[in-house]
């Protein structure tokens, strides 16, 4: 394959083949010269690497043999609201239903676009063809220049409802027909802190409580000052990194800088984290500055994580290919759903990279992340747990929503494996 692809024309033909058209990767940025790539020896090896990533990302996300034989034609896509919670319900012409809990904060702002543009595009589609539907909505002329987290969070909510629908119709858990099938029944969780600016000792106390509550064996806290750093934040960072290790000698430690640093500071902080055996540093520099991120990644030993704000599949795979990150974190909402996130995970797997889905604490984000992690052989050892939002009466079917000894059991119920209080659903109003 690599010899054929040495010819530019053949390469284009390969990339626009049916498989790649389905994956939505119609073209690929030109390759960097071999000298710019640290982990690959020569131009042939570079091409092989790129091909492996693209081929893995292009594989079908659903196990076709487990899908219903007859079309699941979508007749209606409804956005429902109860309090701060937004739900998406898809209905087929046969009366089957799928339900997802959407990203409430984003939907509360962009619901007019969801209702007037996104939802109608899915009507008439066959829900079994989830990937093609998402791709078609992405490529529709009305979405030219609508790229971004707000757009993809709308698409993700419908995609999740379609995936739920398939499971309801086939009486199967998503993890049966998603990816290559379920690879684990249990997901170990980590707990994250959303606080900055508090005293290091207060942060330690917070995690003592968290660890006691859910038994987490891994934690993540925040460094820097979010998209910048200053004297006070750096003082806190330097105190917190050793203090956390002293306080939790047997716990896996992660830290998230949320794009705070410049390259020299990021490298200095990364080296300090290495001394105390941290497992990753997330978003050390501007999240969309791939060159700077790679400058950090290539100079430190600690794995560099990122990707929660990425919304382009092409950019994500490019970052994997060019070793911008050591560990990728697609956000199931911001990145447009489970199937696109799986593509990133598979692209990463093709080059031995770990994928830890990112979640925002909205809707049932943690559940979707659990289902995705349970379907990926290269999922990280711990996944973020944020729990069910207050006032959202959702419970798992055949699994757990509250960790025991830091472990969640992956739901086995149909589709997304959750049940919503029927009264709560009945009281939800249709958003028009
Ligand atoms: Mg983060």
- Nearest in space to 368 (alpha carbons), one of 118, 119, 101, 106: 101
Predicted pLDDT of residue 42: 78
Tokens of 405: 């000894």
Cα–ligand 1 centroid distance for 92 (angstroms): 37
Cα–ligand 1 centroid distance for 93 (angstroms): 40
Beta strand ranges found along 310-379 (DSSP E): 327-328, 354-355
Cα–ligand 1 centroid distance for 256 (angstroms): 6
Give the span between the Cα atoms of 161 and 391, in whole angstroms.
21
Cα–ligand 1 centroid distance for 259 (angstroms): 9
What DSSP string runs through 33-44? PGGG-SS--SHH
Give the span between the Cα atoms of 260 and 266, in whole angstroms.
8
Q: What share of residues in the chain are helix, strand, coil (percent, to 5)?
A: 45, 15, 40
Give the span between the Cα atoms of 122 and 106, in whole angstroms.
20
Tokens of 291: 């060159």
270-312 per-position pLDDT tens digit = 999 999 999 999 999 999 999 999 999 999 999 999 999 999 9
H/E element, 160:
helix 149-170
71-to-102, 124, 414 alpha-carbon distances in Å:
25, 10, 18
96-143 per-position pLDDT tens digit = 999 999 999 999 999 999 999 999 999 999 999 999 999 999 999 988
Cα–ligand 1 centroid distance for 212 (angstroms): 23
What average pLDDT does the segment 82-86 reach?
A: 97
Residue 189: phi and psi, rounded to 5, are -115, 155
Residue 61: phi and psi, rounded to 5, are -80, -20
331-377 per-position pLDDT tens digit = 999 999 999 999 999 999 999 999 999 988 788 999 999 999 999 99
Tokens of 404: 């025991």
Whether pLDDT at 77 is above 90: yes
178-230 per-position pLDDT tens digit = 999 999 999 999 999 999 999 999 999 999 999 999 999 999 999 999 999 99
Cα–ligand 1 centroid distance for 361 (angstroms): 12
Predicted pLDDT of residue 36: 55
Cα–ligand 1 centroid distance for 410 (angstroms): 23
Cα–ligand 1 centroid distance for 32 (angstroms): 28
Cα–ligand 1 centroid distance for 323 (angstroms): 19
Cα–ligand 1 centroid distance for 211 (angstroms): 20
pTM, to two decimals: 0.91
pLDDT band of residue 177 (cuts 50, 70, 90) is very high
CB-side neighbour CA atoms (13 Å) of 126: 8
**What percent of the chain clears pLDDT 70, i.e. is strictly above it?**
91
Cα–ligand 1 centroid distance for 308 (angstroms): 6
Cα–ligand 1 centroid distance for 167 (angstroms): 31
Cα–ligand 1 centroid distance for 258 (angstroms): 6
């Amino acid at each position: 394959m690599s010899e054929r692809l040495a010819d530019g024309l053949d390469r284009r033909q390969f990339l626009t083949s049916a498989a790649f058209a389905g994956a939505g990767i119609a073209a690929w940025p030109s390759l960097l010269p071999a000298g710019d790539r640290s982990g690959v020896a020569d131009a042939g090896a570079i091409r092989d690497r790129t091909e492996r990533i693209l081929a893995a990302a292009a594989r079908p996300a659903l196990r076709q043999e487990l899908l219903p034989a007859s079309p699941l034609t979508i007749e209606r896509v409804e956005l429902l609201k109860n309090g701060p919670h937004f739900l998406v319900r898809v209905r087929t012409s046969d009366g089957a239903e799928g339900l997802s809990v959407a990203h409430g904060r984003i939907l509360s702002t962009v619901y007019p676009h969801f209702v007037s543009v996104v939802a109608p595009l899915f009507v008439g589609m066959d829900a079994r063809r989830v990937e093609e539907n998402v791709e078609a909505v992405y490529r529709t002329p009305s979405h030219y220049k609508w790229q971004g987290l707000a757009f993809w969070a709308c698409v993700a909510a419908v995609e999740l409802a379609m995936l739920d629908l398939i499971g309801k119709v086939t009486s199967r858990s998503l993890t049966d027909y998603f990816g290559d099938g379920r690879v684990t029944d249990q997901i170990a969780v980590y707990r994250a802190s959303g606080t900055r600016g508090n005293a290091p000792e207060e942060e330690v106390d917070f995690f003592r409580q968290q660890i006691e509550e859910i038994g987490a064996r891994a934690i993540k806290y925040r460094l820097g000052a979010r998209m910048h750093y200053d004297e006070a934040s750096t003082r806190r960072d330097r105190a917190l990194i050793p203090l956390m290790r002293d306080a939790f000698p047997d716990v896996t430690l992660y830290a998230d800088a949320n794009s705070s640093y410049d390259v020299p500071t990021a490298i200095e902080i990364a080296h300090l984290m290495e001394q105390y055996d941290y497992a990753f540093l997330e978003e050390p520099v501007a999240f969309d500055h791939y060159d700077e991120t790679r400058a950090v990644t290539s100079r430190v030993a600690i794995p560099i994580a990122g990707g929660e704000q990425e919304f382009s599949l092409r950019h994500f795979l490019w970052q994997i290919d060019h070793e911008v990150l050591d560990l990728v974190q697609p956000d199931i909402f911001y990145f447009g759903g489970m199937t696109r996130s799986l593509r990133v995970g598979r692209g990463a797997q093709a080059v031995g990279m770990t994928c830890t889905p990112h979640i925002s604490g909205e809707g049932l984000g943690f559940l979707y992340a659990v289902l995705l992690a349970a379907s990926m052989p290269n999922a990280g050892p711990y996944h973020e747990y944020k729990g069910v939002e207050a006032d959202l009466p959702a419970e798992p079917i055949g699994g757990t929503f509250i960790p025991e000894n830091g472990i969640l059991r992956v739901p086995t119920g149909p589709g997304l494996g959750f049940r919503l209080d029927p009264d709560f659903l009945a009281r939800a109003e249709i958003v028009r």
